[in-house]
Amino acid sequence: MAKPELKRVSEYCWRIEPFGRMTVPGVIFADHNLINDIDEKTMSQVCNVAALPGIVKASFAMPDAHMGYGFCIGGVAAFDPDAGGVISGGGVGFDISCGVRTFHTGLTLDDIKSNKEKLADALFRDIPAGVGSTGTISLTNEAMDNMLAGGAVWAVERGFGTKEDLDYIEEHGVIKGANPAKVSADAKRRQRDEMGTLGSGNHYLEMQRVAEIYDTQIAEGFGIKKGDLLISIHCGSRGLGHQIGTDYLRQMANDAPKYGIELPDRELASVPINSPLGQDYLGAMRAGINCALANRQILTALVRKTFAKIFPKAELKMLYDVSHNTAKIEAHEVDGKMKELLIHRKGATRSFGPGSSDLPARYKPFGQPVLIGGSMGTASYILAGTTESENLAFSSACHGAGRSMSRTAATKKYQGNQIVKDLAQRKIIIKSRSMRGLAEEAPGAYKNVSAVVEATANAGLAKKVARLTPLICVKG
């Protein structure tokens, strides 16, 4: 594919007109500096998605976009099942339903200052993290299938949380239509002992302080104020999700020609949504979503248990849980009519505006909390979904800073031990079992998260509510 030509639509929106096999434009949300940081390969991936059958409106990239497996991270695309629309394993990725959940602690910096090191040590001890980490739960075959069908609801029913938690999770803790029978034995084997674990890579558990409030009314609606300490967990569906991706991407790439789909990139493996393989993948992928929701729910219970030992009066209440790597059927307006579309968000966050029926009653006046993850030494953000976002990109927003360099490049530039020392000087405690992993995830290996959030807000995709700064980070 030839090098895409960008046309500036506004200060925060760029467009690639259809060319070659593209049937819709590519639309990238970014300011001038961020667009210059998006490489040609990422733009080509945006164009490749625009050539897939049944795509609606455009192939979108959020301000944190960077190259991914076939489909860029920070990519959003909607497909119409009634128009031959496809489902793409590459458009979901390997870490199915990787996401962030944040909850209140009811504590302030003064409350923890004498126990900060003790809390960091306890969280590091009690929360399994790292490559191949396992937890204390081992699932039987029957329990595995129940978990894959039940998600966070399954976990709560087994004592890992409260019914109130479920109100503050996308899909209320369980996505319908999961089909555990379409998840391979290999995937289930990999997950058997991994429930309640963080994993590795960019996954983390972080204690954060609310450093700044941008919208007092929405912040009050979300129950946060300056100085509050919050906990965020970033992780996904662990080995199970990865294996589902491995299993189905291969099959989709092989079956695509059978449906007349000429893949612009084999990594963009796709089949029609309504094909037998498309339906099988949907069932398995939804089981992966439920696995991630159950995993984050169990981790929440572990964190609460640790806090109870050190801060027995602390009450950890859910703020919200969002998923990043998903494909979900949602109703959106297209040419004045409501359509059921399959929305792929890969490294992107759902961003429903005020009044959405999918939001808990408490948040309906304000829009969905959009949780933007940080990178150990940088800020995280809480945004709110906007009504405008529906027309801009099917109610989607960025999910984090987005990488600015590969993990290989990061390990050549940074050293884990030095990162720990540098952050300690800023009173940020880092706990990790892998110094190489820390180097791969160095804050400098990511884009400027504040610039990404600024572009997201100015484009109208979401509204800024609060900025959080890290205090303790247990790194996966």
Rounded Cα–Cα distance for residues 13 and 25 (Å): 12
The residues that are catalytic are 399
**What's the CA angle centered on 366, arms 365 and 367, to 5 degrees?**
110
Q: Torsions phi, psi of 448, nearest 5?
A: -70, 105
**Best CA proximity match to 237, nearest among 325, 328, 127, 329:** 325
Rounded Cα–Cα distance for residues 387 and 461 (Å): 9
For 94, 218, 354, 366, 399, the CA distances from 351, given in Å and listed in that order, are 22, 15, 10, 11, 10
**Best CA proximity match to 343, nearest among 58, 70, 66:** 58
Rounded Cα–Cα distance for residues 460 and 454 (Å): 10
Q: Please name the residue that has the structure tokens 């209440």.
A: 317
Q: Please name the residue that has the structure tokens 């059921």.
A: 340
| Cβ contact 155:292 at 8 Å | no
Rounded Cα–Cα distance for residues 68 and 93 (Å): 8
| Cβ contact 175:327 at 8 Å | no
Angle between helices 116-126 and 276-310 (to 10 degrees): 140
Strand partners, 66: 73
Q: What is the helix (H) or strand (E) element at residue 34, kind and residue range?
A: helix 32-37
| Cβ contact 351:386 at 8 Å | yes
Q: SS3 of 57, please?
A: strand
